[in-house]
């Protein structure tokens, strides 16, 4: 489970905690990565870019450790606030720096991408949106598409996706927010999607 929000007392962190409770109730073994708390550097460095197409693209101990976790995971859960139609830069950077060739995909002899995350059976996104649902759809919902399409293509054929979204977040009251946390916990305690 990967969380991306700069403030430890954020609603995003509350949603991550609810997801974790649900997952543990469902008998899952959970590893959490709180990217801001870990001090994760968002930008792929020039040295990492130079190593990207070599046999050893992971040159930072932290990204190597995260790559090992990803390669063992059966479920990837992303918890973040949607900013600018997508995940915060720190989470985009996590994909750039950890999901490198040999981890998320490999190039075949013709230079085409082949999936390497066949261990991942499910991708889950949990996100808050400032905008109403209709406006999110109009703007394209970039974060959801990135995770449930682009990332999903690097997994196996049978990998499922689950999306738990709270729209119009800025104008919602406490009751709606609490109801969402319950929904997250309930959903994550189950193997399959559905609220």
Partner 1 sequence: MKSLVVYCHPDPASFTAAVRDRAIGALQSRGDEVRVDDLYAQGFDPLFTATEREHHLEHGANPAVAPYVDDLLWCERLVLVYPTWWSGQPAMLKGWIERVWVNGVAWELPAGANRLRGRLRNVRRIVAITSHGSSKLSNALEGEVGKRMVSRTLRSLCHPLTRTTWLAFYGIDTATDDERRRFLDKIERKLS
Interface with partner 1 by CB under 8 A: which residues?
5-7, 10, 36, 41-46, 48-50, 83-86, 88-90, 92-93, 95-96, 99, 107, 110-113, 130-132, 135, 138-140, 142, 145-146, 149-151, 153, 168, 170-171
- Nearest approach, Cβ of residue 16 and partner 1 (Å): 16
| Residue placing its CB nearer to partner 1 in the complex, 28 or 161 | 161
- Nearest approach, Cβ of residue 119 and partner 1 (Å): 19
Please give the distance of CA 175 from its chain centroid, rounded to a whole number: 26
Bridge partner residues of 77 (DSSP):
124
All residues at 6 or more sequence positions from 20 whose CB lies less than 8 Å from its CB, including other chains: 1, 30, 32, 188
How far is 181 from 115, CA to CA, in rounded Å?
Answer: 33
| Residue placing its CB nearer to partner 1 in the complex, 157 or 192 | 157
- Nearest approach, Cβ of residue 24 and partner 1 (Å): 27
Bridge partner residues of 123 (DSSP):
76, 161
Residue with tokens 């119009």: 168
| Residue placing its CB nearer to partner 1 in the complex, 23 or 92 | 92
How far is 82 from 192, CA to CA, in rounded Å?
Answer: 24
How far is 136 from 166, CA to CA, in rounded Å?
Answer: 11
- Nearest approach, Cβ of residue 42 and partner 1 (Å): 4
| Residue placing its CB nearer to partner 1 in the complex, 48 or 185 | 48
- Nearest approach, Cβ of residue 186 and partner 1 (Å): 26
Beta strands per DSSP E along the chain: 2-3, 33-34, 75-81, 105-107, 113-115, 122-128, 160-166
| Residue placing its CB nearer to partner 1 in the complex, 36 or 124 | 36
């Amino acid at each position: 489970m990967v969380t991306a929000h700069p403030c430890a007392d954020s609603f995003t962190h509350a949603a991550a905690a609810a997801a974790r409770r649900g997952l543990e109730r469902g008998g899952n073994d959970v590893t959490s990565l709180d990217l801001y708390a870990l001090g994760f550097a968002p930008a792929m460095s020039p040295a990492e870019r130079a190593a990207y197409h070599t046999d050893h693209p992971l040159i930072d101990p932290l990204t190597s450790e995260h790559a090992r976790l990803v390669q063992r995971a059966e479920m990837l859960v992303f918890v973040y606030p949607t900013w600018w139609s997508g995940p915060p830069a720190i989470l985009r950077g996590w994909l750039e720096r950890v999901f490198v060739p040999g981890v998320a995909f490999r190039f075949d002899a013709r230079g085409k991408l082949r999936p390497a995350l066949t261990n991942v059976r499910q991708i889950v996104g949990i996100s808050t949106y400032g905008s109403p649902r209709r406006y999110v759809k109009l703007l394209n919902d970039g974060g959801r598409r990135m995770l449930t399409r682009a990332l999903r293509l690097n997994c196996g054929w049978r990998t499922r996706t689950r999306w738990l979204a709270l729209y119009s977040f800025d104008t919602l009251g406490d009751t709606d927010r609490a109801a969402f946390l319950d929904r997250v916990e309930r959903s994550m305690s189950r193997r399959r999607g559905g609220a």
